[in-house]
């Protein structure tokens, strides 16, 4: 069967990446992030291979469900893209909730058994093993282009296998667009939604919208409490040569924002990075109750060049998490 059209849109998403580890194949007690959501019976012990965003989200989720969770992370610390002070707060919150994170752990084998699975890993040259009723493979996402015949259609892909697109989401083949995870961009639902806005503008509108229009795109890692980020970290801003000013406070110490204490979880940190030359916000890391909501206000301010001073002096409702901005932006130096 053949179907012809003037326009073709590829939107096949992505798959969980299966690492080249001995025995690492899905099935039995070995899961990806989709299958683990339907796990039965519920695992008393869970081993998460990978300390990235997906791995940490499931670690946080399952420790609150009652599992004994161990994360095997090959990095020196979790959340390597965050400043050390922010990452330390997050790691401590996970530890307080019962998650064990083993850093610089290189997993060498996964074996599924009758009653449990066994994960073999190395730390500091020493081989160790850990048993669990479930193992989550959380080491990134992979392309879903297998079987699509992209080469025959003249559609180019990058070295990871994702479809290459330009700013208007056009592929190298005339009349073919690629949207969502399959084009290898940021793998967030809202980016896929924006891809579709760009596509609709290309096909039905003025054709002016592009991926280059995106700025100050926030994201949240849904731990307890959530980790929300937009823009540059302090380290990244200094590396790029900005005149960096920083305002940071532990959430528990922010007197003007009692919302987190009211809800019984005052853990976290609020950190802003500001350009000393312009007073514009370069980035923010928010780790606290409702940070996934507050980060959108910060991102909007950044996109419209609202200064740190303006954001500091804005009137916010009380008691809310947003009013932490009044106090933290008041200590920027």
pLDDT of the residue at 2? 83
> Residue 115: which H helix or E strand, with range?
none
Joined tokens for residue 93: 């919150």
Q: Which residues contact 289 (CB under 8 A, 6 or more apart)?
A: 225, 226, 251, 259, 260, 263, 265, 268, 321
Q: Which domains does the chain have, with CATH numbers?
A: 8-15+142-213 (3.50.50.60), 18-139 (3.50.50.60), 219-331 (3.30.390.30)
- Average pLDDT, 10 consecutive residues per value, the chain (333 residues): 90 94 96 96 97 97 98 95 96 98 98 95 96 97 89 93 96 96 94 96 94 95 98 98 98 95 97 98 98 98 98 97 97 97
pLDDT of the residue at 3? 86
pLDDT of the residue at 114? 87
Query: Is the whole-model pTM more than 0.85?
Result: yes
pLDDT of the residue at 63? 98
pLDDT of the residue at 1? 75
C-alpha distances out from residue 45 to 11, 23, 70, 140, 160, Å: 36, 19, 8, 22, 33
Q: Which residues of 257-288 are buried (b: 16+ CB within 10 A; e: fewer)?
A: bbbbeeeeebbbbbbbbbbeeebbbbbbbbbb
| Interatomic CA distance for residues 161 and 140, integer angstroms | 13
pLDDT of the residue at 143? 92
pLDDT of the residue at 303? 97
Q: Are 89 and 287 in contact (CB under 8 A)?
A: yes
In the predicted model, what is the mean pLDDT of the chain? 96
pLDDT of the residue at 159? 93
pLDDT of the residue at 233? 98
CA atoms within 13 A on the CB side of 136: 33
pLDDT of the residue at 205? 95
Residues identified as active-site? 318
Joined tokens for residue 161: 């296998």
């Amino acid at each position: 069967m053949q179907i012809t059209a003037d326009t073709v849109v590829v939107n096949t998403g992505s798959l969980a990446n299966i690492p080249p580890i001995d025995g690492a194949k899905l099935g039995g007690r070995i899961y990806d992030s989709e299958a683990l959501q339907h796990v039965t019976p519920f695992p008393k012990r869970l081993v998460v291979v990978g300390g990235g965003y997906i791995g940490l989200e499931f670690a946080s989720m399952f420790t609150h469900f009652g599992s004994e969770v161990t994360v095997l992370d090959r990095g020196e610390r979790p959340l390597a893209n965050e400043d050390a002070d922010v990452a330390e707060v997050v790691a401590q919150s996970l530890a307080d909730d019962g998650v064990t994170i083993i850093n610089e752990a290189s997993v060498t084998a996964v074996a599924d058994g009758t009653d449990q699975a066994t994960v073999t890993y190395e730390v500091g040259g020493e081989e160790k093993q850990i048993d669990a009723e479930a193992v989550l493979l959380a080491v990134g996402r992979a392309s879903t282009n297998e079987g699509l015949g992209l080469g025959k259609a003249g559609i180019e892909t990058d070295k990871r296998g994702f479809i290459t697109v330009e700013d208007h989401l056009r592929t190298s083949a005339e009349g073919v667009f690629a949207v969502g995870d399959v084009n290898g961009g940021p793998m967030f639902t809202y980016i896929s939604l924006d891809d579709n806005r760009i596509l609709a503008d290309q096909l039905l509108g003025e054709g002016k919208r592009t991926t280059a229009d995106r700025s100050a795109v926030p994201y949240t890692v849904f731990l307890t409490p959530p980790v929300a980020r937009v823009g540059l970290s302090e380290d990244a801003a200094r590396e790029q040569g900005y005149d960096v000013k920083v305002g940071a406070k532990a959430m528990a110490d922010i007197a003007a924002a009692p919302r987190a204490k009211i809800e019984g979880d005052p853990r976290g940190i609020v950190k802003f990075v500001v350009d000393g030359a312009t007073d514009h916000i370069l980035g923010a890391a928010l780790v606290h109750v409702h940070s996934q909501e507050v980060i959108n206000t910060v991102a909007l301010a950044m996109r419209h060049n609202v200064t740190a001073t303006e954001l500091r002096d804005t009137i916010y409702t009380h008691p809310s998490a947003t009013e932490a901005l009044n106090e933290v932006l008041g200590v920027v130096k």
